[in-house]
């Protein structure tokens, strides 16, 4: 029996027979129930959070495959079985994205133009327009018509399991009839103005916490560990989108919303189909006029391409869809006094000025800080030296106008010079880092002043560590920004660089395990922390690269570099080889900037290409180094700026040593193969000539989504050339190299239905 069950554990849900599935569901129910009890009953938990999540996911996957064997005592019915910090975590089957913003009418036209140019079409497009509800988004998963899970957005990939709480909301149906087998309905949880006022009154009467605005009240009420508290809060829900569906809801956005309505969801009555930009703008103004009398908060109007086939073609950028945009209402404004300017030093050494304000309420939220961006901004200039705020600078003691746009950090819109105190002096931006005293420089063309101290600067070191442990990076449970602040510079058990995290347990042991006697740490929490750290000793290359906190290296670039180089060693070798070329690139950029300035002041059009070419070729950069550089900048999303940042960071002895000490502690895994069932996965493809059915951008995005690498030029590494009419030298070269050449229709046939 023991043997059989351990065998079962290694089978995927698809490999299980019916009786095996039943046995496995019984085992999982038993293990997970005991794990819950052990965890909540304050016993020593016997499963790590990762294992717990893995078993829960396995349980759900088997249930999805064999719904008839779902048990009455199934762990998936025990909603809200909480992981460490309160709620269980849920990995969204389809990522929950945000929206890009339009602020002016012209941005809306720009949005439509971009869509047409991406699709290589002209003429009017159909859009839906609907209010943008100011609440928090929620994803509701229905399987066979039964609500099985509700999850908050979280970071878009992983949210919190709030099923028990969602079940208390009247607007959320628990059962659907006539829905696709799997349906994830997405929408906004919000609170009406009346309900908000009554709730705050009740809170005041009972000495509870007052909420600043309906949005905060809705968020605070949904994220309650005790579902009974959520039940007592008047939450509502509008459905406006969907995630995974086993069958399409409709052919149009409007049709899908109507379908959601007929399934029993509340959908917003101000949703309309518009056939022109003028229509969209008219609907926007109508909604804006009715804003105050709607009875709930909205902060703009969302436009979505109506045709779902076009939505699919348009697809997504890294965090937003190309087919939708939020047209925001103008921000709310308030006047207050600027009491001081502090300088904060960030992860990349940027000196960021922060306005300390006399607290003031802006759009229902008390604001006491605002960003001042950089020294030019304070001085009243933009990055090109052109005046902003009519050239008015900002001084301590000034009356300033503050605004908030959406969730973003408050900003300063204007200064009232008539109220400026006589003794106010222009702000002198520091040229030394306030944290470590190193010189702070401005690079040509950069409006930001940066501390040159690198990891010598404690502010940079600590911010890098915080980034290192953050969600998209190593994401170590129990080791967040707060703990980093605590361990940084600690006299007995410091975490001063990433490698220190992975030697923490060893050092604590050598220290006779003193950590568990510290404030905030007990026997159990220390054990959990060390376990969480151990769990992350193995990490994917993309995440690892992002975690390093190298300037300009974001999540997308990390993933793309990982897919291209497949191993840390391969990447490092190329970066080292590219060093010479990188140095030369820097020289070339400096020469170009000087030449541009000289040409412009002589009243000539700048002639830059020759300058650049000369520096590259005189004396020639060694071919090997040039090839390595070209290899780097050919990676999708990696430009010369990031390549240079990689080259310089890894050539810096101290940075290099820090990274090498870290690498010695880790196992870095190659990225998982992408979309392996696609015939182009892992293949390098090149497009050339004119494409008639799609634009280059669309072709490239589509190919990449299917796991192909898209290169700009044909080489021995190319697997496939897609040649449209007018293909020239690339097609010839491909033929010489014996590379397969197909036309656009062949290509579409190849990827059809994927
Ligand atoms: S559509 C793929 N429609 O706004 C895009 N979002 O800023 C899915 N929101 O995360 C979102 N009202 O929480 C959409 N009518 C509406 C919305 C709406 C509010 C929120 C949503 C989203 C955020 C993006």
What is the percent of the chain where pLDDT is above 70? 95
**Same domain flag for 611 and 520:** yes
What is the percent of the chain where pLDDT is above 90? 59
The predicted structure's pLDDT at residue 676 = 61
In a domain, 432, yes or no: no
Long-range own/partner contacts, residues 571-574 (CB < 8 A, 24 or more apart): 571/541, 571/545, 572/650, 574/628, 574/631, 574/632
The predicted structure's pLDDT at residue 588 = 87
Residue 3 has pLDDT above 50, yes or no: no
Stretch 101-108: mean pLDDT: 93
Stretch 353-370: mean pLDDT: 88
**Same domain flag for 344 and 290:** no
- Please state which of the ranges 67-76, 169-178, 359-368, 583-592 shows the lowest mean pLDDT: 67-76
**Same domain flag for 639 and 694:** no
Query: In 3D, which of 560, 611, 565 has the Cα closest to residue 590?
Result: 611
Do 448 and 374 form a contact (C-beta atoms < 8 A)?
A: yes
The predicted structure's pLDDT at residue 49 = 64
Residues labelled catalytic: 132
Q: What residue's CA is closest to ligand 1, atom 16? A: 132
The ligand 1 atom nearest the CA atom of 304: 1
Stretch 727-748: mean pLDDT: 88
Do 340 and 348 form a contact (C-beta atoms < 8 A)?
A: no
Q: How many domains does the chain have?
A: 5
CB of 97 shorter than 6 A to ligand 1: yes
In a domain, 86, yes or no: no
Residue 675 has pLDDT above 60, yes or no: no
Evaluated on CA atoms 492, 498, 501, 504, the torsion sign reads negative
- Mutating to test ligand 1, I would choose from 94, 136, 188 the residue with most ligand atoms within 8 A of its C-beta, which is 188
Quickly count: other Cβ atoms within 10 Å of residue 124's Cβ. 12
| Confidence band for 751, pLDDT divided at 50, 70 and 90 | confident
| Confidence band for 42, pLDDT divided at 50, 70 and 90 | very low
In a domain, 437, yes or no: no
In a domain, 612, yes or no: yes
**Same domain flag for 551 and 527:** yes
Residue ranges in 432-540 assigned as alpha helix (H): 458-469, 481-487, 498-502, 504-510, 523-535
Please say which residue of 281, 311, 328 terminates a domain: 328
The predicted structure's pLDDT at residue 83 = 35
The overall average pLDDT reported for the chain is 89
736-754 burial: b if 16+ Cβ within 10 Å, else e:
eeebebebbeebeeebeee
Stretch 580-590: mean pLDDT: 90
**Same domain flag for 259 and 395:** no
Q: Report the distance separating Cα 617 and Cα 596, nearest Å.
A: 20
The predicted structure's pLDDT at residue 407 = 52
Structural domain harbouring 703: 684-751
CB of 132 shorter than 6 A to ligand 1: yes
The predicted structure's pLDDT at residue 199 = 94
Q: Which residues have CB under 8 Å from 312's CB, separation 6+? A: none
pLDDT per position as a tens digit, 412-442: 989 999 999 999 999 999 999 999 999 999 9
Please say which residue of 608, 637, 669 terminates a domain: 669
pLDDT per position as a tens digit, 282-337: 999 999 999 989 999 999 999 999 999 999 999 998 789 999 999 999 877 899 99
Residue 646 has pLDDT above 70, yes or no: yes
CB of 544 shorter than 6 A to ligand 1: no
Stretch 174-179: mean pLDDT: 96
Do 231 and 168 form a contact (C-beta atoms < 8 A)?
A: yes
Please say which residue of 295, 328, 361 terminates a domain: 328
CB of 674 shorter than 6 A to ligand 1: no
Stretch 376-381: mean pLDDT: 94
In a domain, 515, yes or no: yes
Residue 4 has pLDDT above 60, yes or no: no
CATH number at residue 369: 2.40.50.140
**Same domain flag for 168 and 303:** yes
Q: What residue's CA is closest to ligand 1, atom 18? A: 132
**Same domain flag for 399 and 340:** yes
Stretch 6-32: mean pLDDT: 85
**Same domain flag for 306 and 372:** no
> C-alpha dihedral over 562, 564, 570, 576, to 10 degrees?
-100
Residue 602 has pLDDT above 60, yes or no: yes
Q: Torsions phi, psi of 738, nearest 5?
A: 75, 30
CB of 238 shorter than 6 A to ligand 1: no
The predicted structure's pLDDT at residue 405 = 62
CATH number at residue 693: 3.40.50.10190
Q: What residue's CA is closest to ligand 1, atom 24? A: 98
**Same domain flag for 175 and 53:** no
Residue 1 has pLDDT above 70, yes or no: no
Stretch 7-30: mean pLDDT: 87
Stretch 197-207: mean pLDDT: 91
Residue 186 has pLDDT above 80, yes or no: yes
Do 467 and 459 form a contact (C-beta atoms < 8 A)?
A: no
Residue 47 has pLDDT above 80, yes or no: no
Q: End-to-end CA distance of the chain, in Å? A: 42
Q: Which residues have CB under 8 Å from 352's CB, separation 6+? A: 343, 344, 345, 346, 371, 372, 373, 374
- Please state which of the ranges 286-295, 330-339, 369-378, 675-684 shows the lowest mean pLDDT: 675-684
CB of 188 shorter than 6 A to ligand 1: yes
**Same domain flag for 294 and 391:** no
The predicted structure's pLDDT at residue 754 = 66
The beta-strand segments (E) located in 232-383 are 236-245, 272-274, 298-305, 324-328, 332-345, 351-362, 365-371
Stretch 255-278: mean pLDDT: 97
The ligand 1 atom nearest the CA atom of 268: 15
Q: Which residues partner with 324 through β-bridges? A: 304
The predicted structure's pLDDT at residue 674 = 57
In a domain, 589, yes or no: yes
**Same domain flag for 622 and 590:** yes
């Amino acid at each position: 029996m023991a043997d059989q069950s351990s065998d079962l554990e290694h089978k995927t849900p698809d490999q299980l027979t019916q009786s095996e599935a039943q046995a496995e569901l019984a085992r999982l129910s038993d293990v997970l129930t005991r794990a819950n009890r052990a965890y909540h009953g304050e016993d020593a938990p016997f499963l790590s959070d990762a294992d717990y999540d893995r078993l829960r996911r396995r349980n759900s996957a088997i249930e999805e495959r064999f719904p008839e064997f779902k048990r009455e005592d199934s762990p998936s019915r025990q909603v809200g079985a909480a992981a460490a910090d309160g709620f269980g975590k849920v990995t969204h089957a389809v990522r929950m994205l945000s929206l890009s913003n339009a602020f002016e009418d012209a941005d809306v036209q720009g949005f439509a133009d971009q869509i047409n140019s991406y699709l290589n079409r002209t003429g009017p497009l159909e859009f839906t327009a609907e209010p943008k509800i100011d609440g928090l988004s929620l994803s509701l998963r229905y399987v066979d018509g039964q609500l099985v899970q509700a999850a908050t957005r979280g970071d878009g990939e992983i949210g919190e399991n709030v099923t028990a709480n969602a079940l208390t909301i009247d607007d959320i149906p628990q059962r659907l009839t006539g829905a696709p087998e799997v349906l994830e309905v997405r929408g906004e949880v919000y609170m009406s103005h009346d309900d908000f006022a009554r709730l705050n009154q009740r809170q005041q009467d009972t000495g509870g916490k007052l909420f600043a605005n309906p949005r905060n009240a809705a968020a605070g009420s949904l994220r309650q560990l005790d579902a009974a508290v959520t039940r007592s809060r008047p939450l509502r829900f509008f459905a406006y989108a969907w995630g995974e569906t086993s069958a399409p809801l409709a052919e149009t956005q409007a049709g899908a919303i109507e379908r959601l309505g007929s399934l029993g969801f509340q959908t917003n009555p101000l949703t309309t189909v518009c056939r022109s930009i003028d229509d969209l703008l008219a609907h926007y103004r109508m909604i804006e006029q009715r804003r105050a009398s709607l009875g709930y908060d909205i902060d703009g109007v969302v436009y979505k391409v109506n045709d779902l086939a076009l939505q699919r073609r348009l697809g997504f950028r890294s965090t937003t869809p190309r087919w939708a945009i939020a047209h925001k209402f103008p921000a709310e404004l308030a006047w207050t006094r600027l009491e001081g300017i502090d300088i904060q030093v960030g992860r990349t050494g940027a000196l960021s000025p922060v306005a300390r304000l006399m607290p003031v309420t802006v759009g229902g939220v008390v604001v006491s800080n605002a960003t001042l961006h950089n020294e030019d901004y304070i001085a009243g200039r933009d990055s090109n030296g052109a005046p902003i705020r009519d050239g008015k600078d900002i001084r301590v003691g000034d009356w300033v106008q503050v605004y908030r746009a959406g969730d973003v950090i408050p900003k300063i819109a204007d200064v009232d010079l008539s109220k400026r105190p006589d003794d106010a002096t222009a702000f002198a931006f520091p040229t030394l880092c306030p944290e470590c005293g190193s010189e702070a420089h401005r690079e040509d063309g950069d409006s930001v002043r940066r501390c040159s101290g690198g990891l010598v600067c404690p502010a940079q070191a600590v911010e890098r560590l915080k980034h290192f442990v953050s969600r998209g990076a190593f994401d170590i449970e129990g080791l967040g920004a707060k703990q980093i602040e605590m361990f940084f510079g600690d006299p007995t058990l410091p975490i001063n660089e990433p490698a220190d995290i992975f030697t923490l347990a060893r050092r604590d042991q050598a220290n006779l395990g003193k950590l568990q006697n510290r404030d905030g740490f007990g026997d159990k929490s220390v054990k959990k922390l060390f376990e969480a750290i151990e769990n992350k000793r193995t990490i994917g290359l993309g995440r690892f690269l992002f975690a390093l906190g190298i300037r300009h290296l974001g999540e997308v670039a990390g993933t793309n570099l990982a897919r291209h180089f497949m191993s840390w060693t391969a990447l490092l070798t190329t970066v080292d080889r590219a060093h010479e070329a990188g140095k030369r690139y820097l020289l070339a950029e400096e020469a170009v900037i000087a030449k541009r300035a000289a040409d412009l002041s002589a009243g000539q059009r700048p002639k830059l290409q020759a300058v650049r070419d000369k520096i590259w070729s005189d004396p020639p950069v060694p071919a090997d180094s040039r090839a390595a550089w070209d290899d780097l900048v050919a990676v999708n999303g990696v430009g010369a700026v990031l390549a240079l940042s990689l080259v310089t960071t890894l050539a810096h002895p101290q940075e290099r040593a820090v990274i090498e000490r870290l690498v010695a502690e880790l196992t870095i895994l190659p990225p998982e193969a992408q979309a392996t069932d696609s015939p182009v996965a892992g293949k390098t493809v090149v497009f050339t000539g004119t494409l008639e059915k799609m634009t280059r951008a669309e072709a490239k995005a589509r190919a990449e989504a299917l796991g192909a690498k898209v290169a700009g030029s044909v080489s021995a590494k190319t697997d496939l050339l897609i040649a449209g009419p007018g293909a020239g030298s690339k097609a010839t070269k491909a033929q010489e190299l014996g590379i397969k050449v197909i036309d656009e229709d062949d290509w579409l046939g190849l990827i059809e239905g994927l």
